[in-house]
Amino acid sequence: MIRTCAVDKDNQIVYDVPLRDLNNEHTVWYWVDFSEPTDQENSLLRDFFHFHPLAVEDCLDELIERPKVDFYKNYLFFLLHSIQQTTLATDEVEVFMNSHMLVTYHKQPNRAINNSWVRIKKEEGLKKGPIFVLHSIIDQIVDDYFQPVFHIEDALNQIEENSDREAVNELLDKIFDIRHDMSKIRRSILPMRDLLYRLLNSENVSFIEDQRFYFHDIYDHLLKLSEMLESYREFSADIRDNYMSFNSNKTNNIMMTLTIITTIFMPLTFIVGIYGMNFDYMPELHIKYAYYMVLIGMACIAFFMFLIFVKIGWLKIGNKKNRRNRHSSK
């Protein structure tokens, strides 16, 4: 689908203008939007607009390219990354622009383009020129980055508090998923930041001087987003390390408990093994209270070893209660 609009010399906005009428003498500038174009419509990039083959190749390529800006002789070419809010999948938006035209290209329906089209149509922003529309599109794309980043912040805070008392393994799985989402967003935000930096510091773009402060505002938003993601990466790494240390410490405590139980039962097993041998003559077996004496002896050995483990600090009685009391006092 191709939709068009143009601003004529009378400062009137005309929509659905045929492509052949865009370059007439009455048109000041125009915007052409390629949305989910067909193969026939794709050919217009080369045959009607005569864009550079490399730029056309970037539009038609199925691979996701890195965001960039290229300075051609008569126009600028932008390759932008738009993020889907639910899946965080990356959609490419290509923009060709000079002082007399704006051509946008996207293979999927794009929220930023559609919102900009509706917004500018209501505010008559088209009369301000293509640079204003370009700013509106990039600004909308960058604004759409904030919601997933804020969602990541909320998820990390929830994991840190762990109010639902989830198991450590489940929390670690969530942290790894969040870090994966951060990596996906980061792969779009950092190149977009570099794109804006190159645009603002280039000497080949004289017609954005009037809008330079507005593009600086977008650049500041991208700087803020990159700093937020970096802090969240460090925060998630700290939470991950804490939970992994807690999980390792818990495993060590379980292994120590099992070791203590095994050690206590070793002499008892030795005694049981001796009296379990099938010899014909064992004097102790004929003593009247030998059975009770052996049981009492085994209980004394177990109790004595238990006291030893408590004294050397392997068994700590009352720590869990004390930790619970300290937690409740907070």
Q: 209-241 pLDDT, tens per residue? A: 677 788 889 999 999 999 999 998 888 888 888
CATH classification code of 252-329: 1.20.58.340
Helix (H) or strand (E) holding 234: helix 212-275
Whole-Å CA distances, 115 to 96, 218, 299, 324: 19, 17, 80, 53
For residues 161-169, give the mean pLDDT.
75
Confidence category of residue 330, pLDDT binned at 50, 70, 90 = very low
Task: Kindly list the strands in the beta sheet with 76-83, ordered across the sheet, starting from the edge strand earlier in the chain.
Answer: 13-15, 2-8, 27-35, 101-106, 90-98, 76-83, 68-71
User: Over 60: is that where the pLDDT of 188 sits?
Assistant: yes
Assigned token pair, 9:
């010399």
Are domains 2-244 and 252-329 of this chain identical in fold?
A: no
Could you give the CA distance from residue 262 to residue 265 in angstroms, rounded to a whole number?
5
Locate the domains of the chain by residue range: 2-244, 252-329
For residues 30-35, give the mean pLDDT.
90
Confidence category of residue 26, pLDDT binned at 50, 70, 90 = confident
Percent of the chain with pLDDT over 70: 91
Q: What is the mean pLDDT of the chain?
A: 83
Residue 42: exposure state from Cβ atoms within 10 A (0-12, 13-18, ≥19): middle
Confidence category of residue 328, pLDDT binned at 50, 70, 90 = very low
| 262-320 tens-digit pLDDT | 888 888 888 888 877 777 777 777 777 878 888 898 899 888 888 888 888 777 765 55
| 239-259 tens-digit pLDDT | 888 878 877 888 888 888 888
CATH classification code of 2-244: 3.30.460.20
- pLDDT at 329 (0 to 100): 44
| 103-129 tens-digit pLDDT | 999 988 888 888 888 877 776 666 678
